[in-house]
Amino acid sequence: MKKLHFCFVFVLFSILALIDSAFAQIEFKKVTHQFGEVLESGGEVSIDFEYTNGFKPTKIVMVQPSCGCTTPDWSKETINPQEKGKITVKFAPKGRWGEFSKTVTVMTDHNQVFWLKIEGEVVEKKSKKEGSGE
């Protein structure tokens, strides 16, 4: 009987946790950004990943880039229901020639995890586009 009671309680708490996270979920407009060609000497490039909160106060508790060349910035305050926000991701191309693909891991206080991704290619100078007449 104790095992049956334990199983029931476990299932109940699992369902409640799923319901809790469903109402707390933030939703990003997009999770991937393609910079295209980025000048190595052009300085940092950045993108704002915009989101809307769900139906419960939520706080972003961790934003971790995959490398030191990527820097995130975000509000450390609680995000109220239906409120909008953004995570700004900056990429420093200096000394990083060639294609890049970087991720930023985002975690909320409701244990939701999101992966934001930036991609592009670091070049010495921008190439001429075909058919542009340049």
CA of 78: how far to CAs of 1, 22, 56, 83, in Å? 43, 17, 10, 10
CATH topology for 26-123 is Immunoglobulin-like (2.60.40)
What backbone phi and psi angles, to 5 degrees, belong to 103? -120, 155
Please state, in angstroms and rounded to a whole number, the distance separating the CA atoms of residues 87 and 24: 18
Query: How many CB atoms neighbour CB 114 within 10 A?
Result: 19
Q: Which of 57, 65, 128, 54 is nearest to 100 (CA)?
A: 65
The one-letter code for the residue type at 9 is V
This prediction's pTM: 0.76
Please state, in angstroms and rounded to a whole number, the distance separating the CA atoms of residues 127 and 134: 10
Residue 64 CA, distance from chain mean position:
9
Token pair belonging to 38: 């980025």
Residue-wise pLDDT for 83-128, tens only, equals 999 999 999 999 999 999 999 999 999 889 999 999 999 998 766 5
Residue-wise pLDDT for 44-94, tens only, equals 999 999 999 998 999 999 999 999 999 999 999 999 999 999 999 999 999
Decide the pairing of beta strands 27-28 and 45-52. antiparallel
Ordered by start, the domain boundaries in the chain are 26-123
